[in-house]
Amino acid sequence: MSVYTPVSVTELEHFLLEYPLGTLKAYTGISAGVENSNFFVTTTTGEYVLTLFEHHTPVELAYFLTLTQHWAEAGIPVARPLANHQGHLLSQLNSKPAALVMRLPGQHIEHPTPQQCAELGTMLARMHLSGKDFPQQRPPDRGHEWRLHTAAALLPRLDTDNATLLEAEIAYQQTIPFQQLPAGVIHADLFRDNAMFQQGTLSGVIDLYFACTDSWLYDLAIVVNDWCCNSDGSLDIPRSQACLKAYQAVRPWQPLEHQYWQATLRAAALRFWLSRLDAQLNPRHGDMILQKDPHEFRDKLLHRIGQETITLDARRLLCPMPVIRVQQAVENLPAGITVTAICTDPGALHDIPAWARIHGHTVVETRSEGREHIIVLQTGQP
Ligand SMILES: Nc1ncnc2c1ncn2[C@@H]1O[C@H](COP(=O)(O)OP(=O)(O)O)[C@@H](O)[C@H]1O
Ligand SMILES: N[C@@H](CCOP(=O)(O)O)C(=O)O
């Protein structure tokens, strides 16, 4: 529940006089969300969301609101902020900075399909490209430096297993050239509960209050770690493939991004493991905070460290042309995925490695077990 600052009918009616949005018909507090006080507001001209900001400074809010306006004007489905009669996006209500934005239609989805992940990938790439014209910069709240010092502060309070994992991961993270990855404006928290879908189609993205300047790949990794995972934390290959393919159709990756994709997935998993651990070990007082499970992201991190593996059944009855089956499955996979193909056609022992080498994949192993022939590949850069 998160209406920290109540608003009476009279206060809201008075506040609405500042806006060219007609008069109040109805309003209700929004129970979801944990950071701010939010209300659905219906006036004679439409439906809006009123937010009273509980933590951010006016300077930060000016960045978030002008960025949201920029993205809305570029056709990105975000909740457009409304200007008051003075042309200001930010106002004040009950001593809190306050803003009105358009209410987006639709609901959050829990179980996205590959098609919905693709839609999100396309939108994220468009968001990144259109952010190029946005002149303001904002350092990340949870960037590489934050991860390093938060890990150092939490380490003494973790049990041996978690401390060993964290220490090793921090050492690894310092080998990643984050500064060299292409960067720009990113959303930085685009989880499923920050996107709305209407009739199966993406209708909007909300909660831009972590937006900042950071690596685009990192933003995509945050998305994939939330949208394209199985319940054990492993990547769901059809969903992640759909998302990455759609993203890269709009903004193709640079070679360094191919090289550091797996590493960036680890950085993104680490970020949420740390913020959730921090929230658990250093709870904020006074607020009703929804405690999210840190283990979810530790498990995701462990899977990303172990790298992903997929097994393909290319036995003769299922597939007369095993090399085609492998080709279709491997196409558009990111680098570093281990693919094990099981075939009954002995020709596959020659054909698949020959095809793989031509396409830049590494043949890790070929072996025969009775009538089954097994080829293990590691994907190279698509
Ligand atoms: N523009 C919007 N259109 C429709 N629903 C919204 C909009 N903004 C917020 N909501 C609803 O309010 C909830 C809380 O918003 P959120 O921004 O996540 O809050 P907080 O910043 O307090 O965590 C969201 O989960 C969503 O259901
Ligand atoms: N989406 C995040 C919540 C936002 O991050 P935090 O740094 O405020 O904890 C999550 O699911 O953990």
Q: Which residue in 155, 187, 97, 375 sits closest to 273, CA to CA?
A: 155
CA 208–ligand 1 middle distance (angstroms): 10
Token pair belonging to 293: 């499970």
Q: Among 206, 209, 275, 292, say which to mutate for ligand 1: greatest number of ligand atoms within 8 Å of CB.
A: 206
- For position 312, what pLDDT does the model report? 78
Q: How far apart are CA 57 and CA 376, in angstroms?
A: 53
Q: How far apart are CA 352 and CA 333, in angstroms?
A: 16
Mapping DSSP to helix (H, G, I), strand (E, B) and coil, where does residue 15 land? Answer: helix
- For position 127, what pLDDT does the model report? 98
Q: Is the CB of 38 under 6 A from ligand 1?
A: yes
For residue 201, count other CB atoms closer than 10 A to its CB.
12
> What are the average pLDDT values for consecutive 10-residue runs of the chain, which has 382 residues?
85 97 96 87 98 94 98 97 97 96 96 97 98 97 97 95 90 93 98 96 96 98 97 89 93 89 95 96 70 93 79 70 83 73 89 92 87 86 66
DSSP labels, 269-302: HHHHHHHHHHHHHSPPSSS------HHHHHHHHH
- Residue in the block written with tokens 């009950």: 94
Q: Exposure of 18 by Cβ count < 10 A (0-12 exposed, 13-18 middle, 19+ buried)?
A: middle
Closest atom of ligand 1 to CA, residue 103: 3
What does CATH list as the number for 309-378?
3.30.110.40
CA 69–ligand 2 middle distance (angstroms): 23
Q: How far apart are CA 122 and CA 257, in angstroms?
A: 17
pTM: 0.85
What are the contacts of 15-22 at 24+ separation with CB within 8 A?
15/50, 15/91, 15/93, 15/98, 16/41, 16/43, 18/84, 18/85, 18/86, 18/91, 19/82, 19/83, 19/84, 19/85, 19/100, 20/85, 21/45, 21/46, 21/48, 21/82, 21/100, 22/46
Q: Whose CA is nearest to atom 16 of ligand 1?
A: 33
Q: Is the CB of 119 under 6 A from ligand 2?
A: no
Q: Is the CB of 206 under 6 A from ligand 1?
A: yes
Q: How far apart are CA 65 and CA 83, in angstroms?
A: 10
What does CATH list as the number for 9-102?
3.30.200.20
- For position 251, what pLDDT does the model report? 97
Dihedral in degrees, nearest 10, Cα atoms 100, 105, 108, 113: -140
CA 155–ligand 2 middle distance (angstroms): 20
- For position 305, what pLDDT does the model report? 87
Domain ranges of the chain: 9-102, 114-306, 309-378
Q: 114-306, superfamily in CATH? A: Aminoglycoside phosphotransferase (APH), C-terminal lobe (3.90.1200.10)
